[in-house]
Structure 1
Amino acid sequence: MLKLIAISADFDPVHKGHEKLIKEGRKLADEKQKKLVVYLNKGYSANHSPFFVNFEARRDMALALGADEVKSFEGLHHRLVLSYSVPIRLNKMYEDGATDYITSAHISLDEIKNKAQKFVKQGNFVGMPKNYPNRNEIRWYALNEFLGSPLEYHVIPEFNKEKYSGRKIRKSILDNDMTIPKETRKLLPKTTIEILEDEIAAGRIPGERNWAEIYKRMNTYSRGNLEKIAYLNGNTINEIIKRRVYRDPESIWAVFRRANYGPVMTRLAVSAIEEEVTKKEVMDLMKSYEAKGVIPEGQKVQRVIDRAWYVANEGEKGVSAKEANETFRNKNIKVDTPPLNIHAGLNLTKFETKIVSEGLNADLYIDKDNKISVQLKADGKKIKTNLRLPAKEVTYLRYIMDSNFIPTTAHIKKDKKGYKVDITIG
């Protein structure tokens, strides 16, 4: 297998900071007699947004500066947060023959190692503190350690991040009517400028979201249909319903702010709506990588279900959800097998009871009064009703429904006293 030196990035577009990284990677590759391969995200950036510059143009920018080859990571960043996509990307690079990984940071490799140890010890890489300097580099190093350190890690000094900012470069071009201002040109390699100007002339910049599809889904989908989409919880769905109609991006950003989503989770949730990414789709993707040993133990699908069941049980003892969550994470609590099937009662009228039949599919959702409810169609009639469940099961099911990627399915089951809804988790 050919041995590689790997770089992983968005490069949107390639600026002089990236040029320095590629040249240092080139030098390392030549010293070790290996191939320099740049791995670019494709489709959606690591920040869960469409790219300003398309993959083909960014590939040409990297090749022009000395990369031997450019490969793509596609299908990840509208489905997964970084704590899940990074180990997948690391594993892919290793499978391709990468032996070394090179990146840039303004803290040293020793500092990165020290800060990474906490997360390696926990085996959970979700929730990297926002005040960590170079937290993305810390995440990559920590996850490389988790995978058994398959890649030798190299760090070069980072250029001024405030000055050499892809976001600011993109904004300057947009603000100047799709021309590259003089000050921005100073930040870009000559080859990048040439490729950018060709792309602008051809009308291929900037990449855009499919706002028409986003508006349609946010304006028309029922609570039950929105509940199936990844990264939407019950409170957020009710905010979406409450704030209709959506006609511009700002109205969409605003509803997620009201639902207490930060910028990163907002972009991921909007991307999931845009691509109609379901919770089941994300769960199945994660399980496929769990089977390869790529997903950390603390981030596995089963641990999310375990946490919900633990919090529900602790709640019965009077322990707050916050305290139970912290205990579960910090003490690596083991949980007896949580139930994956729940049988809930229904509040049906006499008429509804007559037209309902066993086997009908049903959609769970959180109603405007914050209660777990179900919607189904029987004999052409739409039926909506709250579920009847013990308090512990209500807490458990609500945690599952509010998770980012655990799906639920439900169907009607005949009971000796009438009808119940049979709920399957996962």
Structure 2
Amino acid sequence: MIGISADFDPVHLGHVRLIDKGREIADETGDEVVIYLNRDFSANHAPFFVPYEARKEMALEAGADRVVPIEGLHYRLTLAYTVPIRIAMMIEDGVVDYVDAANVSPDLIIKKAREFASRGVFSGIPRELPNRNVIRWFAVNEFLYSKYRRKMKFHIIPELTVDGSKISGREIRQEIIDNNMEIPPSVQRVLPESTIRILEREIEKGNVPGRRNLAAIMERMNNLSRGELMKIAYLNADAINSIVRNRKYYREGQIWAAFRKAGYGPVLTRLAMSSIEMNVRREEVRDLIEHYTRKGWIPPDQRVGNLIDRAWFVSEKVIEGMSSVRANEMFLRGRPEVNAPSSFEAGLSLRKHEVRSIRDGMDAHIYVDQNDILSCQIRNGIKIKSPLHLSAQMATYLRLVIDSHIIPFHATIRKRKKGFRALVKIN
């Protein structure tokens, strides 16, 4: 099999060149050209402009033999996870040759990819590197060789350019929107006739452009408490406090502004919005990662247990006076043995009438309040809020877990001889 992984939103002449290259290889090998097509959200966590069935039809009309849907990943996981999953799927399906396009030499891509493959971690690839995702694909392909004792052969062709610029799907979509949902001549010249025909049909049906469920996003951002928001994946403490501080939301621009104020870039903002829209919980992401970890598809440094160990190691070093950046680098470089606690207790500050309102075993929602203080909220007819009293290391550890975006945590009220405490459980 010859594999191509794509959004194809919509299929343009650059995509046709990928399929043509696949067809060229297929003519020699007798294999089929298979498109692994993202279905529900794009690789960059955005809703699709063109619906899946239409994009599938475009790919087949452009010369592909078969289309395999990739679904359920891109509103739950970052590219550092989805790329290993997709490559492992393709290898297990029997893909031998993989076709992609890049505007840098394959030698440079291979050199950089091997650096990341040797580390065994595929997040944090510097933005200044050209064709970062192609480098990631190369690196993961190398990493998975140790599992499968084989890897896909990469065929990298130059990116197609028109008037000196590469064809951009984002610009194509924007030009159509700006032209009142008609395909202007500037866009038609970079689309195959089959795409134009299918796209015009979908526009006429009202299927284009696809949109987010902004009503669901705004309803949750407007109404969920800090503790409830903390359970949603890809929301850290700063993002949640920004969401609460900037309520009330009634248009998309306000949502983007809230995440921007929390330091989120465009890709992470889209992932966070997708997670809110689909109500993706931290436990759900954890379970998905652990499922693929058991299959041997997730690099060791990206496994959930390793993320927890790293948080504990960094908290130890920070208390010793080391910067968190340096501690993180030390952990990645040395991979030390760490025994991170899976549970610990925190003290509470409760008034007398509040003590009478709570009991052993009640759930408590952990959150970070507007003053950046780790706190919990207990509901029993009334809201009871209390700061968590923790040692400096435990507070740092819990905050790192909270800001991991994906590690779940939970607190339960426990009655002790000296009063009530919160039993915090990690993962």
Return the TM-score normalized by structure 1. Answer: 0.97
Q: How many residues align?
A: 421
Corresponding letter in the other structure for 2:309: D
Deviates more, 1:413-422 or 1:153-162: 153-162
Q: 2:223 aligns to what? A: 220
State whether residues 44 and 74 of structure 2, in contact with CA within 8 Å, keep that contact through their aligned partners in structure 1: yes
For 2:41 and 2:417, the matched residues in 1 are separated by: 51
Correspondence 1:155 to 2:152? no
Corresponding letter in the other structure for 1:333: R
Q: 1:17 aligns to what? A: 14
Aligned counterpart in structure 2 of residue 121 of structure 1, from 114, 118, 121: 118
Q: 2:359 aligns to what? A: 357
* Partner secondary structure for residue 365 of structure 1: strand
For 1:385 and 1:60, the matched residues in 2 are separated by: 56
For 1:206 and 1:165, the matched residues in 2 are separated by: 17
* Partner secondary structure for residue 187 of structure 2: helix
For 1:198 and 1:315, the matched residues in 2 are separated by: 59
State whether residues 36 and 69 of structure 2, in contact with CA within 8 Å, keep that contact through their aligned partners in structure 1: yes
State whether residues 342 and 425 of structure 2, in contact with CA within 8 Å, keep that contact through their aligned partners in structure 1: yes
Deviates more, 1:196-205 or 1:101-110: 101-110
Shift of 1:335: 3.2
State whether residues 6 and 101 of structure 1, in contact with CA within 8 Å, keep that contact through their aligned partners in structure 2: yes
CA shift in 2, pair 1:156/1:374, >3 Å: same
For 2:326 and 2:151, the matched residues in 1 are separated by: 37
Deviates more, 1:160-169 or 1:180-189: 160-169
Q: 1:205 aligns to what? A: 208
Corresponding letter in the other structure for 1:159: L
Correspondence 1:399 to 2:400? yes
Deviation string, structure 1 residues 67-119 (Cα, Å, up to 9, x no partner): 11011100000011101000101111122221111111112222211111110
Correspondence 1:384 to 2:381? no
* Partner secondary structure for residue 98 of structure 1: coil
For 2:397 and 2:180, the matched residues in 1 are separated by: 52
Shift of 1:420: 0.8
Correspondence 1:144 to 2:146? no
For 1:82 and 1:219, the matched residues in 2 are separated by: 29
Deviation string, structure 1 residues 221-275 (Cα, Å, up to 9, x no partner): 1000110011111111111100001111111111111111111001001111111
Return the TM-score normalized by structure 2. Answer: 0.97
Shift of 1:163: 4.0
**Aligned-CA RMSD value:** 1.0
Deviation string, structure 1 residues 289-337 (Cα, Å, up to 9, x no partner): 00011001111111111111011111221112222122222x2331321
For 2:315 and 2:90, the matched residues in 1 are separated by: 40
Deviates more, 1:20-29 or 1:149-158: 149-158
- Within a 5 Å distance, the mapping from 1:152-301 to structure 2 comes to 152-160=153-161, 162-301=165-304
Q: Percent identity?
A: 49
State whether residues 10 and 46 of structure 1, in contact with CA within 8 Å, keep that contact through their aligned partners in structure 2: yes
* Partner secondary structure for residue 191 of structure 1: helix
Aligned counterpart in structure 2 of residue 335 of structure 1, from 334, 337, 341: 337
Corresponding letter in the other structure for 2:80: S
For 1:14 and 1:207, the matched residues in 2 are separated by: 16
* Partner secondary structure for residue 412 of structure 1: strand
Deviates more, 1:158-167 or 1:219-228: 158-167
* Partner secondary structure for residue 155 of structure 1: strand
Corresponding letter in the other structure for 2:347: G
Correspondence 1:413 to 2:414? yes
Correspondence 1:134 to 2:117? no
State whether residues 310 and 335 of structure 1, in contact with CA within 8 Å, keep that contact through their aligned partners in structure 2: no
Shift of 1:65: 1.3
State whether residues 6 and 38 of structure 2, in contact with CA within 8 Å, keep that contact through their aligned partners in structure 1: yes
Deviation string, structure 1 residues 120-167 (Cα, Å, up to 9, x no partner): 111111011111111111100100110005211111111128441100
For 2:160 and 2:178, the matched residues in 1 are separated by: 24
* Partner secondary structure for residue 7 of structure 1: strand
For 2:327 and 2:191, the matched residues in 1 are separated by: 50
State whether residues 371 and 386 of structure 1, in contact with CA within 8 Å, keep that contact through their aligned partners in structure 2: yes
Aligned counterpart in structure 1 of residue 40 of structure 2, from 39, 43, 48: 43
Aligned counterpart in structure 1 of residue 4 of structure 2, from 7, 27, 46: 7
* Partner secondary structure for residue 388 of structure 1: coil
State whether residues 346 and 387 of structure 1, in contact with CA within 8 Å, keep that contact through their aligned partners in structure 2: yes
Correspondence 1:369 to 2:366? no
For 2:403 and 2:307, the matched residues in 1 are separated by: 11
* Partner secondary structure for residue 327 of structure 2: helix
For 1:184 and 1:332, the matched residues in 2 are separated by: 51
Shift of 1:15: 0.4
